[in-house]
Amino acid sequence: MTHLLTSLPDDILFLVLVYLDSARSVSALSRTCRRLHHLVQRDGWRIFVRNRFPSLSAPAPATGHLSWQQVAESMTWQSRCWDRRSLQFQAIIPHPMRAARSGDFMSVIDAHFDPASQQELVVWGAGEDVVARYRQRRGPGRASQTSWHRLDGEDLGLRAGYDDIKTIKIVAYGGGLALITGRYNGQLSLLSADPARFGECIAQFGAAANPDFDSHRASARETINSLDVLDTGGSRLLAAAAESSVRIYELPEGDPMDTAPVTIYDLKDDALTSSSAKLGRARWMEQGASIALALVCSKDPLRYLSLSPAGWSLHAAAKSERVAREFNISYDRTIAPNSLEPVYLHPGARRGTSLLLSAWRDGTIRLQDLRTPSAFDAVYQNNVDPGSNTETLMAYGTERFVAGGTGLAIEVFDFRWPRSYHHTAGLPCYGGSPFPKPHQPFLKPPSTAAQGRARCDHVRGLPCHWHALSAELYHRPNAKFFLSQWVDFYRRTTAVWSLARASDVSPHFYVGVSGAVVEACLEQTPDSYAPERAVVVDPNFGFPDWRAPPPSGSGYWTRPAVPALMETGDGYSFKGNDRSIVLPNLLRYRGPREWTAGGGRLQKRHRLDIGYQQETDFRLILS
Amino acid sequence: MAPIQILKLQNTFKPGGKVFEVERAAAEHSGLVQMLLQDFDDSDLEAIIPISVDVSDKGLAKVFEWMTHSKDLPKTTDDGSVRGPDDSAVNWKPLTFSDWDKKFFDALDSEALYEILIAANYLDIKPLYELGCQFVANMIRGKTTEQIREILNITSDFNPEEELRIREQKALVKDESETAEKN
């Protein structure tokens, strides 16, 4: 008999789908005939998502209302927004009266999204207060349903400064959500996040195994510097970093009751020998087999606790001679204690990882395997301003990470690992180079064998000039977004203290700055002018009305923070990094303009969002 | 007695299949053959090893040609390659075709290509199976629906209503196809 593609068994076609690198190809294949259409709808989009975005946790559509095709649509859309720097910001600022009372608090944030109800919860510690915003998507064209909630610290007799929230975490509790808060005064509480009883205390976490001793111990008043929750599917474990010890609690279920730690690891004796030494942060690693620790004023600032049958034991993080030599770093430096961020290679059940990102006060951001030096280990740094300090980090699988620190700015770093998806693969072939020319202080332009080739010949493995170069790191430099316009208005110095997002596929994330919160959203500048009807946010996970002002009574108002973009280079740290270079242009976001309307052919190829495009970028290409 | 170096394989799917003589080192690319070699004594191997797969002798000959040429390449074992369509995923990179592989696949008509995929799947020859699937994917990459139908000889069996509905769904994958269409 004669075989046809359509008569091949499913598992062969599945493997063909694994190798399709753009949603456009998968979609084109699915429209050829019934069998392939059915196959792609049933399995193809899932295969595409898993293979193109292998490190990101995508929600299984079975639990929500979305199909795998929609998940694929969102993930490719978001990837393109990240690559083209289509990111917009809005500051959420306390009313002046309230701001005067609480002062310049360092806002700490957490976010959660429930795919089934399409509801997002964002919470932040605003001084001694806790503020929450619920926001529910209600389908295309309908306004989101939003409600604001506040726990007023003053009502509880809490003082600004002394009793501020230091760390906050959202957890599932009793079919709904709850918050865990840690304060400067050492209070560690489980609070209701239920809109009807927001802020009600469900349980207190004690400092000692025997509560009778609590009041006598100085450690009971130790600031809680960080919280991290490990969800193993069964019990959930909370790791709290007090100043001199790591405390592990089991999260209570059902009946509220005060909870004592199941384990206390005291660091006083073996790690915190100097009186000023403190534990800054503790993060679960390796699915609970270890906890990464950031120590302040300690000789080995990055350490980890490792669990064995004999209990927890303390180790210094692995040091790699290769990394020290290759990137010219010293391990004898100070760590930014808030910065610890695990990097996951796989989603889902295999989420355990021993890879950790951390920022250091020498301006470096280090990726390392805690236990042993690994091939993944690398050191990143801003190439333009190598001394700029990073305070907090947020990683999206192995795709990218976001860094925030001094100044009101965030920087998006590429991990510099091979990526499975480039949005450019879905665009037609072209014989020219990607444009405009990127700013790369140190990286050399790639040589390409595809010199001037106008069309890809995939069968012969020959990509066109543009596809070949677009995937190269050289043409995808890191980018720093400056939001200082808003600060000028606000007249205060500021820094980024925390970063939070609901999930790997959430197009919104939150930046905790001094005295305010900034919401960031992947948003594409439309190619129409003026752009009333264009879809500019993620169609499946985004909130189109994310700029809506908070209701009166929320105590907050909003103000757009217009970004200015600087392309900073490849982001690797190296010896010559401190030498002077030509400062790259600062591109102010200008939004759609008359000349950008209509979406010219070349406009789609421009490396950056339409809002950053300049007419001169095209003149050089067309001449 | 020296171990058997030439294996005899015959496709019994249809009567009258040709008996192929394949070097042992080449045949070991096949997970199925590896399994048989573990289970049988050498004395059993002197007999003809029956396989049963819906592929012509012409197609099988191509498979054995690839195996014989690639006999010195490292063999994959069950715990080797992990690139699968299930939920497990690895960092993806396109496979590289050697010059010989390129010529080999280029010379195939689509009938032979599909037969190789079926046979490689059945015989569990991971590298050939993956190369073959990548080769088919490469024919699809960057093509429109009409081009794919033409290249892969697919006849549309949608009725007009379905055709219309699918055209509407196309707008869903908005990031790429919408852009592609405009150009």
Q: Tally A–B CB contacts below 8 A.
A: 195
Other CB atoms within 10 A of residue A233 CB? 7
Quote the minimal CA–CA distance from A79 to chain B in Å.
10
Confidence of residue B182 (pLDDT cuts 50, 70, 90): very low
Query: Residues A320-332: pLDDT tens digits?
Result: 999 999 898 888 8
Query: Residues A286-340: pLDDT tens digits?
Result: 999 999 999 998 889 999 999 999 999 999 999 999 999 989 888 888 999 999 9
Same domain? For A277 and A411 the reply is yes
Q: Is residue B166 a part of any domain in this protein?
A: no
Residue A559 contacts residue A90 (beta carbons within 8 Å): yes
Q: Is A1 on the interface with B (CB under 8 A)?
A: yes
Domain-ending residue, one of A513, A545, A560: A560
Confidence of residue A351 (pLDDT cuts 50, 70, 90): low
**In sequence order, which residues have a C-beta less than 8 Å from that of residue A533 and are 6 or more positions away?**
none
* CATH assignment at residue A28: 1.20.1280
Question: Would the pLDDT of B64 be above 90?
Answer: yes
Q: Is residue A442 a part of any domain in this protein?
A: no
Q: Is residue B165 a part of any domain in this protein?
A: no
What phi-psi label fits residue A599: left (phi over 0), alpha (psi between -120 and 50 degrees) or beta? left
Same domain? For A76 and A109 the reply is no
Same domain? For A296 and A374 the reply is yes
> What is the H or E stretch that residue A446 is in?
none
Residue type, B50: P
- Give the domain extent around B61: 6-157
Quote the minimal CA–CA distance from A566 to chain B in Å.
25
Distance of alpha carbon A380 from alpha carbon B53, whole angstroms: 53
User: In this complex, do A346 and B89 lie within 8 Å of one another by their Cβ atoms?
Assistant: yes
Domain-ending residue, one of A56, A84, A112: A84
| pLDDT number for residue A395 | 96
Same domain? For A149 and A10 the reply is no
Confidence of residue B73 (pLDDT cuts 50, 70, 90): confident
Which 8-state DSSP code applies to residue A338?
G
Cis peptide bond N-terminal to A584, omega within 30:
no
Other CB atoms within 10 A of residue B167 CB? 12
- Residue of B111, B183, B148 lying closest to A26 (CA atoms): B148
Distance of alpha carbon B166 from alpha carbon B158, whole angstroms: 9
- Residue A239 has phi, psi (to 5 degrees) of -105, 120
Cα dihedral sign for A599, A604, A607, A609?
A: positive
This model of the complex carries an ipTM of: 0.87
Other CB atoms within 10 A of residue A204 CB? 15
* CATH assignment at residue A524: 2.130.10.10
| pLDDT number for residue A515 | 87
Instruction: Give the count of domains, chain B.
Output: 1
User: In this complex, do B142 and A70 lie within 8 Å of one another by their Cβ atoms?
Assistant: no
Residue A359 contacts residue A391 (beta carbons within 8 Å): yes
Residue, of A99 and A31, whose pLDDT is higher = A31
- Residue A495 has phi, psi (to 5 degrees) of -150, 165
Domain-ending residue, one of A544, A560, A576: A560
Between A22, A33, A461, which is nearest B157 by CB? Answer: A33
Residue A576 contacts residue A442 (beta carbons within 8 Å): yes
User: In this complex, do A458 and B141 lie within 8 Å of one another by their Cβ atoms?
Assistant: yes
| pLDDT number for residue A388 | 87
Residues 322-361 (A) with a CB less than 8 A from some CB of B: 345-346, 348
- Closest residue of B to A427, CA-based? B180
> What is the H or E stretch that residue A91 is in?
strand A87-94
**In sequence order, which residues have a C-beta less than 8 Å from that of residue A484 and are 6 or more positions away?**
A407, A408, A409, A564
Q: Is residue A493 a part of any domain in this protein?
A: yes
Same domain? For A20 and A148 the reply is no
Percentage above 70 pLDDT, chain A: 91
Same domain? For A77 and A95 the reply is no
* CATH assignment at residue B60: 3.30.710.10
User: In this complex, do A428 and B176 lie within 8 Å of one another by their Cβ atoms?
Assistant: no
Quote the minimal CA–CA distance from B47 to chain A in Å.
29
CA dist A349 to A44, A170, A420, B88, Å? Answer: 22, 21, 21, 10
Q: Is residue A512 a part of any domain in this protein?
A: yes
Same domain? For A53 and A118 the reply is no
Confidence of residue A102 (pLDDT cuts 50, 70, 90): low
Residue type, A612: Y
> What is the H or E stretch that residue B63 is in?
helix B57-69
pTM for the whole thing? 0.92
User: In this complex, do A77 and B175 lie within 8 Å of one another by their Cβ atoms?
Assistant: yes
- Residue A590, SS3? coil
Burial (CB < 10 A; 0-12, 13-18, 19+), residue A73, is: buried
Same domain? For A393 and A268 the reply is yes
Instruction: Give the count of domains, chain A.
Output: 2
Query: Residues B2-61: pLDDT tens digits?
Result: 667 888 999 999 888 899 999 998 998 999 998 888 887 776 677 888 899 999 999 999
- Give the domain extent around A49: 5-84
